[in-house]
Amino acid sequence: MSFKDIFKSKFLENVTSISILDMALAMVLSFFVGLFIFWIYKLTYRGVMYSSSFGVTLIGLTMISTLVILAVTSNVVLSLGMVGALSIVRFRSAIKEPLDIAFLFWSIAVGIVIAAGMLPLAVLGSLLIGLILVIFVSWKSHDNPFILVLRCESEDAEVAAQTVLEANIRKLVLKSKSVRNGEIELHYEVRLKDSETSFLSSVADTEGVQDVVLVSYKGDYVG
């Protein structure tokens, strides 16, 4: 038995199954495409609180997907074990914005495509997806709704405030009404006229009105 046979193992043979150049090219390209996805996410974000950690996660997912698929494509036995290992992973983080799901799948899909060697598909596909997202997210087909919270002392104040609101906004829909001792709280969904909000001063000056709050409405309403 030679010295080479002593240190010969299947593990060491797998090291050369993928060239260092291919590894470096795939990881570098996945980083830049992930960076592009992060930039598109930041450009198209329309939520209330922007999370920079989620954007960094998109870059990490792209590179991790590439790393995993490179390992899977080099060894059939490893691919079966990887499927079994990933099947027990559970994610508990809630997705707050529906569009975030598209970015997550985009990052994973690009990582897989790059590791499979389809580099033109990954680059051109990402450019096309990014362009479509920018166009459709930036294109407003309707006015953004708002939630107006109104606190009054009596029913007469409620009627007077509602009259002022109907005269100054395009659409007014009552979502909820709470009555306590000496206080009435109402939640309205409103559509503004040309983003004009000066009418709030008139509502606040109405006799019997205690408080008026206008909030941008981005998600499902919770009463």
Per-residue pLDDT tens digits for 38-51: 999 988 887 667 77
Instruction: Measure the CA dihedral 26/31/34/39, to 10°.
Output: -150
Rg, Å, the chain Cα set: 28
Per-residue pLDDT tens digits for 9-24: 554 455 556 678 888 8
Q: Which of 19, 18, 43, 31 is nearest to 111 (CA)?
A: 31
What does the pLDDT read at residue 47?
67
What does the pLDDT read at residue 184?
85
Q: What is the mean pLDDT of residues 50-58?
A: 83
Mind giving me the DSSP string for 63-92?
HHHHHHHHHHHH-HHHHHHHHHHHTT----
Q: Which of 186, 181, 180, 174 is nearest to 211 (CA)?
A: 186
Both tokens assigned to 90: 């559970």
User: Where do the CATH 3.30.70.260 domains begin and end in the chain?
Assistant: 146-216
| pLDDT at residue 3 tops 60 | no
- pTM for this model (two decimals): 0.62
CATH number assigned to the domain with residue range 146-216, chosen from the 4 options 3.40.1130.10, 3.40.50.300, 3.40.190.10, 3.30.70.260: 3.30.70.260
Cα 53 to Cα 46: distance, rounded to the nearest angstrom: 16
> Degrees (nearest 5) of the Cα angle 125, 129, 132?
140
Structure confidence at residue 176 as a pLDDT band (50, 70, 90): confident
Cα 118 to Cα 105: distance, rounded to the nearest angstrom: 17
Q: How many CA atoms lie within 13 A of 26 on its CB side?
A: 25
Pairing between β-strand 146-152 and β-strand 171-180 as defined by DSSP bridges: unpaired
**Averaged pLDDT of the chain:** 78
CB 191 within 8 A of CB 143: yes
Per-residue pLDDT tens digits for 113-172: 998 888 899 999 999 999 999 888 877 655 677 888 888 888 888 888 888 888 888 888
